[in-house]
């Protein structure tokens, strides 16, 4: 059982990660544009533009501008979406169309290393993109548009890496089971987009019903967004950060062996 | 020029015994034994679905056998898969080079997937590029290469870490005759340098020309093994008669075949192929002296046709 997790630290996983880094480094000038421009555009369009029409929100019985509410949510959303997207679409293309995995599996690299290489890469990219968002938020803070404890954003980067690891394992799960690239619309629009928005990222999620309480209690993205928000807006360490950590570790522990088993069947034809 | 000779000359570079593999309850490989020495080409032949690629994939570690043992250059693959993989080079049937890298970059990237790290990688890449005629494409992406050069890149990539054993899964499928001949020459040179090579192919001429030893698979089992002529003699017969299927005497020939208890002749387009041994040919000639027919030695094509038939 521990061999599933031990592979994360073995040189073969680093070799796979290194391969992805090498390719990315070559295209960094075009690849870095989306994570740089997307938060600027979203903060301007929703935070400043739409936020101008929205009166101050009441969040935890405190008035807060929509721009300030949105900023921490974007950090959580970026780590989540980048890691998931990489582990779903990009990994599927490498597995199915480019045959990159097959080329790696005829060497000393085994499937568990390919899985960890993909997960580590998706998490690295998710964290780097979150770091870029952090720098954009710092720019907004310094220019006086936002009032955040933005230095705390750098403290949550390890947590964002853990979150990205967990969401990458979820992305790989779908990579392992979708019949074709066209079928990726199903998990993307039925699971990921709803999860991305209904998690206190772009708007507050509240409710007294059993369903909404359970949804929020078990939703790691909600805990991540709220935890970061409390840290950035109120400078408060909080239980959401602990809950998020616990849920992410649980996801990784469960999903890594499942991904490996399903991908073994898909890639190698073995049960 | 690099020599691929073994560290322990007495140990075969590949020794596999009793290989078994099941998929969904069906035995795709059923008790196959393989042995390949350094400086030898072992050819694996069989119709589609005979279990060639599955056997190969178990030997190079892509699949785990359900039963059996595999030793690569004296290393037990199950006990030490990493060390066994270090001695193994693989050229898969499909192109599996990395399209995000150049030709030269592919070789460099491949070297990063092995420990101990291949030594003098830069010089090794330059030597492989020159040897395989890829030096002028070193900075090009592999997608711009012709089929023949893609195969060369696949083989060069499989050799970057100086393995002792090379697996080639249908290495010339889809190539034009000129490119095929060039790949054959490369394979033969590698064999002469001491590399052990295991080859699967659909091209009979390729198997006959390159393989010192043949292993014929049918429905996951070895049905014949040995040198190509001996294998053909065992499975087909000494002589192959080619008759006109529309000849009026054919019903009489078929009746004679049945009466003699011989295997049913194969129909190939407008011809009938009948395999006979020496006494059988003498009998046939005396019985059907007026019939026009051609006698030729059996080929691996005849073997393939025979294997393709249901038992």
Q: pLDDT digits over B106-163, tens only? A: 999 999 999 999 999 999 999 999 999 999 999 999 999 999 999 999 999 999 999 9
Please state, in angstroms and rounded to a whole number, the distance separating the CA atoms of residues A160 and A129: 10
Say if A109 is an interface residue toward chain B (CB within 8 Å): yes
Nearest C-alpha neighbor of B198 from the set B213, B185, B183:
B213
* Nearest Cα residue in chain B from A101: B96
What is the mean predicted confidence (pLDDT) over B30-47? 94
* Nearest Cα residue in chain A from B154: A103
Cα of A191 to nearest chain B Cα, Å: 31
Cα of A14 to nearest chain B Cα, Å: 10
Share of chain B above pLDDT 70, in %: 96
* Nearest Cα residue in chain A from B85: A108
**The tokens of B274 are what?**
């009948």
What is the mean predicted confidence (pLDDT) over B169-198? 93
Chain B contact probe: residue of A16, A95, A103 with most B CBs at under 10 A: A103
- Inform me whether the pLDDT recorded for A225 exceeds 90: yes
Alpha-carbon A190 to chain mean position = 17
Task: State residue A60's pLDDT score.
Answer: 86
**The tokens of B240 are what?**
């192959």
Task: State residue A156's pLDDT score.
Answer: 94
Angle between helices B228-235 and B300-308 (to 10 degrees): 40
- Asked whether the beta carbons of residue B62 and residue A100 sit closer than 8 angstroms, the reply is no
Please state, in angstroms and rounded to a whole number, the distance separating the CA atoms of residues A44 and B169: 56
Please state, in angstroms and rounded to a whole number, the distance separating the CA atoms of residues A215 and A213: 5
Q: Three-state SS for A271?
A: coil
Q: Find the DSSP H helices in B30-69.
A: 52-59
- Inform me whether the pLDDT recorded for A62 exceeds 70: yes
Please state, in angstroms and rounded to a whole number, the distance separating the CA atoms of residues A131 and A126: 9
Which residues of B fall below an 8 Å CB-CB distance to A? 23-24, 60-64, 81-82, 85-86, 90, 92, 94-101, 109-110, 112-115, 158
Task: State residue B203's pLDDT score.
Answer: 78
Task: State residue B4's pLDDT score.
Answer: 63
Could you tell me how many residues make up chain A?
271
Task: State residue B9's pLDDT score.
Answer: 62
Chain A contact probe: residue of B101, B105, B113 with most A CBs at under 10 A: B113
Interval B46-91: pLDDT, tens:
888 899 999 999 999 999 999 999 999 999 999 999 999 999 999 9
Please state, in angstroms and rounded to a whole number, the distance separating the CA atoms of residues B90 and B168: 6
The residues, any chain, with a CB within 8 Å of residue B269's CB and separated by 6 or more, are: none
Please state, in angstroms and rounded to a whole number, the distance separating the CA atoms of residues A118 and B113: 15
| ipTM summary value | 0.91
Between B85, B94, B100, which is nearest A107 by CB? B85
H/E element holding B271?
strand B271-276
Asked whether A180 and A97 are in contact (CB, 8 A), the reply is no
Torsion, Cα of B250, B253, B258, B260 (10° steps): -170
Give the number of C-alpha atoms closer than 13 A to the C-alpha of residue B67, restricted to the C-beta side.
9
Q: Three-state SS for A16?
A: helix
Interval A158-189: pLDDT, tens:
999 999 999 999 999 999 999 999 999 999 99
Among the ranges given (A119-128, A161-170, B274-283), the one the predictor scored with the smallest mean pLDDT: B274-283
Please state, in angstroms and rounded to a whole number, the distance separating the CA atoms of residues A201 and A224: 9
Residues in chain A within 8 Å Cβ distance of B81: 110
What is the mean predicted confidence (pLDDT) over A112-124? 98
- Asked whether the beta carbons of residue B94 and residue A269 sit closer than 8 angstroms, the reply is no
- Asked whether the beta carbons of residue B96 and residue A102 sit closer than 8 angstroms, the reply is yes
What is the mean predicted confidence (pLDDT) over A114-143? 94
Cα of A162 to nearest chain B Cα, Å: 26
* Nearest Cα residue in chain A from B82: A108
Residues in chain A within 8 Å Cβ distance of B82: 108
Q: Find the DSSP H helices in chain B.
A: 52-59, 81-86, 103-111, 121-131, 147-158, 177-192, 204-210, 228-235, 250-259, 278-287, 300-308
Cα→Cα distances A27→A24, A94, A99, B71, B140, Å: 5, 17, 20, 42, 17
- Asked whether the beta carbons of residue B100 and residue A23 sit closer than 8 angstroms, the reply is yes
Q: Which residues pair with B168 in a beta bridge?
A: B91, B199
> B107 or A154: whose pLDDT is higher?
B107
Task: State residue A34's pLDDT score.
Answer: 83
Residues in chain A within 8 Å Cβ distance of B60: 106
Q: Are strands B75-76 and B67-72 parallel, antiparallel or unpaired?
A: antiparallel
Among B28-32, B178-182, B240-244, which range has the highest average pLDDT?
Answer: B28-32
What is the mean predicted confidence (pLDDT) over A123-149? 92
Asked whether A122 and A78 are in contact (CB, 8 A), the reply is no
Residues in chain A within 8 Å Cβ distance of B24: 271
Task: State residue B3's pLDDT score.
Answer: 56
**The tokens of B265 are what?**
């002749």
Please state, in angstroms and rounded to a whole number, the distance separating the CA atoms of residues A130 and A118: 18
Q: Across the A/B interface, how many CB contacts are shorter than 8 Å?
A: 57
Task: State residue A38's pLDDT score.
Answer: 85
- Inform me whether the pLDDT recorded for B5 exceeds 70: no
Tell me what the pLDDT averaged over chain B comes to. Answer: 91
Chain A contact probe: residue of B57, B94, B96 with most A CBs at under 10 A: B96
Please state, in angstroms and rounded to a whole number, the distance separating the CA atoms of residues A132 and A110: 33
Domains of chain B: 14-232 (3.40.50.300), 236-308 (3.30.70)
Say if A12 is an interface residue toward chain B (CB within 8 Å): yes
Please state, in angstroms and rounded to a whole number, the distance separating the CA atoms of residues B274 and B266: 7
Asked whether A248 and A162 are in contact (CB, 8 A), the reply is yes
| Burial of B112 per CB tally in 10 Å (0-12, 13-18, 19+) | buried
Q: Three-state SS for B274?
A: strand
- Asked whether the beta carbons of residue A103 and residue B97 sit closer than 8 angstroms, the reply is yes
- Inform me whether the pLDDT recorded for A54 exceeds 90: no
Residues in chain B within 8 Å Cβ distance of A271: 24
Tell me what the pLDDT averaged over chain A comes to. Answer: 93
Cα→Cα distances B137→B145, B146, B175, B239, Å: 8, 11, 19, 48
Cα of A271 to nearest chain B Cα, Å: 8
Widest CA span in chain A = 60
Please state, in angstroms and rounded to a whole number, the distance separating the CA atoms of residues B158 and B162: 8
Backbone conformation region of residue A53, classed left if phi is above 0, alpha if psi is from -120 to 50, else beta: alpha
- Inform me whether the pLDDT recorded for B309 exceeds 90: no
Q: Is the peptide bond before B283 cis (omega within 30 degrees of 0)?
A: no
Nearest C-alpha neighbor of A73 from the set A193, A249, A228:
A228
Please report which confidence band the pLDDT of residue B310 belongs to, taking 50, 70 and 90 as the band edges: low
Alpha-carbon B137 to chain mean position = 29
What is the mean predicted confidence (pLDDT) over B26-37? 96
Task: State residue B2's pLDDT score.
Answer: 57
* Nearest Cα residue in chain A from B25: A271
- Inform me whether the pLDDT recorded for B311 exceeds 60: no
**The tokens of A220 are what?**
């790691």
Please report which confidence band the pLDDT of residue A36 belongs to, taking 50, 70 and 90 as the band edges: confident
- Inform me whether the pLDDT recorded for B1 exceeds 70: no
Fill in the DSSP letter of residue A10. Answer: S
Cα of B114 to nearest chain A Cα, Å: 6
Interval B245-265: pLDDT, tens:
999 999 999 999 999 888 888
Say if A31 is an interface residue toward chain B (CB within 8 Å): no
H/E element holding B197?
strand B196-200
**The tokens of B218 are what?**
């049918």
H/E element holding A162?
helix A157-177
- Asked whether the beta carbons of residue B98 and residue A100 sit closer than 8 angstroms, the reply is yes
Chain A contact probe: residue of B25, B91, B100, B139 with most A CBs at under 10 A: B100
Domain ranges, residue A124: 3-268
Task: State residue A92's pLDDT score.
Answer: 97
Please report which confidence band the pLDDT of residue A48 belongs to, taking 50, 70 and 90 as the band edges: confident
Please state, in angstroms and rounded to a whole number, the distance separating the CA atoms of residues A133 and A139: 10
Number of domains in chain A: 1
- Asked whether the beta carbons of residue B98 and residue A103 sit closer than 8 angstroms, the reply is yes
- Inform me whether the pLDDT recorded for A242 exceeds 90: yes
Q: Which residues pair with B213 in a beta bridge?
A: B42
CA A30-A31-A33 angle, 5° bins: 70
Between A22, A104, A270, which is nearest B64 by CB? A270
Residues in chain B within 8 Å Cβ distance of A269: 23, 63
- Asked whether the beta carbons of residue B85 and residue A11 sit closer than 8 angstroms, the reply is no
């Amino acid at each position: 059982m521990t061999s599933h997790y031990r592979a994360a630290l073995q040189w073969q996983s680093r070799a796979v990660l290194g391969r992805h880094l090498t390719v990315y480094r070559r295209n960094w000038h075009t690849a870095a544009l989306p994570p740089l421009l997307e938060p600027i555009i979203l903060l301007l369009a929703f935070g400043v533009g739409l936020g101008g029409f929205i009166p101050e929100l009441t969040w935890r019985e405190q008035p807060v501008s929509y721009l300030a509410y949105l900023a921490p949510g974007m950090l959580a959303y970026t780590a989540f979406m980048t890691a998931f997207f990489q582990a779903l679409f990009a990994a599927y293309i490498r597995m199915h169309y480019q045959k990159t995995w097959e080329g790696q599996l005829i060497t000393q690299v085994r499937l568990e290393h390919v899985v960890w290489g993909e997960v580590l890469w998706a998490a690295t990219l998710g964290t780097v993109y979150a770091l870029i968002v952090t720098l954009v938020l710092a720019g907004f803070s310094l220019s006086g548009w936002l009032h955040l404890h933005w230095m705390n954003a750098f403290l949550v980067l390890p947590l964002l890496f853990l979150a990205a690891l967990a969401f990458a394992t979820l992305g790989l799960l779908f990579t392992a089971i979708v019949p074709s690239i066209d079928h990726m619309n199903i998990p993307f629009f039925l699971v990921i987009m709803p999860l991305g928005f209904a998690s206190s990222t772009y708007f507050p999620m509240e409710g007294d019903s059993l369903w909404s309480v359970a949804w929020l209690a078990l939703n790691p993205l909600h805990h991540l967004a709220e935890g970061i928000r409390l840290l950035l807006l109120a400078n408060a360490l909080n239980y959401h950060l602990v809950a998020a950590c616990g849920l992410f570790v649980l996801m990784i522990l469960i999903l890594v062996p499942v991904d490996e088993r399903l991908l073994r069947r898909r890639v190698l034809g073995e049960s | 020029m690099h020599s691929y000779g073994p560290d322990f000359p007495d140990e075969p570079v590949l020794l596999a015994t009793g290989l078994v593999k099941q998929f969904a309850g069906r035995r795709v490989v059923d008790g196959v034994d393989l042995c390949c020495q350094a400086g030898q080409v072992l050819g694996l032949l069989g119709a589609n679905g005979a279990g060639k690629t599955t056997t190969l994939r178990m030997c190079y570690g892509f699949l785990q056998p359900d039963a059996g043992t595999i030793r690569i250059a004296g290393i037990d693959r199950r006990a030490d898969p990493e060390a066994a993989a270090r001695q193994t080079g693989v050229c898969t049937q499909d192109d599996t080079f990395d399209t995000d890298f150049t030709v030269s970059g592919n070789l460099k990237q491949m070297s990063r997937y092995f420990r101990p790290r291949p030594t003098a990688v830069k010089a090794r890449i330059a030597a492989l590029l020159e040897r395989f005629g890829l030096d002028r494409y070193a900075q090009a992406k592999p997608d711009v290469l012709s089929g023949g050069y893609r195969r060369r890149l696949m083989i060069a990539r499989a050799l970057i870490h100086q393995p002792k054993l090379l697996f080639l899964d249908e290495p010339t499928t889809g190539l034009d005759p000129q490119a095929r001949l060039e790949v054959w020459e490369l394979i033969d040179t590698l064999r002469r340098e001491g590399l052990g090579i295991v080859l699967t192919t659909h091209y009979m001429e390729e198997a006959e020309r390159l393989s010192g030893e043949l292993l014929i698979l049918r429905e996951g089992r070895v049905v014949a093994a040995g040198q190509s002529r001996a294998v053909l003699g065992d499975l087909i017969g000494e002589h192959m008669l080619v008759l006109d299927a529309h000849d009026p005497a054919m019903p009489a020939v078929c009746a004679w075949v049945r009466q003699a208890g011989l295997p049913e002749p194969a129909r190939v387009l407008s011809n009938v192929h009948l395999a006979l041994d020496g006494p059988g040919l003498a009998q046939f000639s005396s019985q059907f002296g007026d019939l026009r027919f051609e006698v030729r030695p059996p080929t691996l094509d005849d073997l393939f046709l025979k294997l393709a038939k249901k038992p």
